[in-house]
Amino acid sequence: MCRRQGGGFRRGHALAVVGAVALERVAELVVARRNDTWARERVGVEHGAGHYPVMVALHSGLLAAIPLEAVLRDRQPPRSWPLLLGACVGAQALRWWCIRTLGPRWNTRVIVLPEVPPVVAGPYRLLDHPNYVAVVVEGAALPLLAGASRTAAAFSVANAVLLRHRIRVEDTALGRRDDEA
């Protein structure tokens, strides 16, 4: 059992951060639904819809598993909690920079407008898929913040497999790849 104290930052604080991220996900889904309607009204085409339920289950599972592991294994935040919290905040900032940059074209689904080139502004000047940097960082840092190391490891492996597929789907949809994903 790990009862190490994180310098005044306790399990309850870490779980409050997880709760805040869960609420942020709800906000994302509201934005995504609005943008989905906008894109489909402009004849947007969805690609890779088959993997979407897996992605939803994986991300929902992450948010459910963190408090379960933290409580059932009696975990507390590690001493490195300030770094982990900073990584979580940084991931959120990057995610919302991506959302703001893409505007109504951002979505949790892969919906592409025909004959419209990919966005190359904001973080997309630097990377093709900056939002996934945020996902990877948060997927490790958020569970570790609550002491949920098994959840961090399991999510990171499953997410790597999913992202490999998802990035192929996006790159194909955006004309960056010729193969079918």
In tens, the pLDDT along 116-165 reads 999 999 999 999 999 999 999 999 999 999 999 999 999 999 999 999 99
pLDDT tens across 53-78, in order? 999 999 999 999 999 999 999 999 99
pLDDT at 6: 46
Which residues make Cβ contacts (< 8 Å) with residue 60, sequence separation at least 6? none
Q: Is the pTM of this model over 0.85?
A: yes
Number of helices followed by number of strands (H, E) in the chain: 5, 2
**Multiple choice CATH, 11-173, 1.20.120.1630, 3.40.50.300, 1.10.3720.10, 3.40.190.10:** 1.20.120.1630
Q: Where exactly are the structural domains of the chain? A: 11-173
pLDDT digits (tens, 9 = 90+) for 25-41: 999 999 999 999 999 99
Chain CA centroid to CA 65, Å: 15
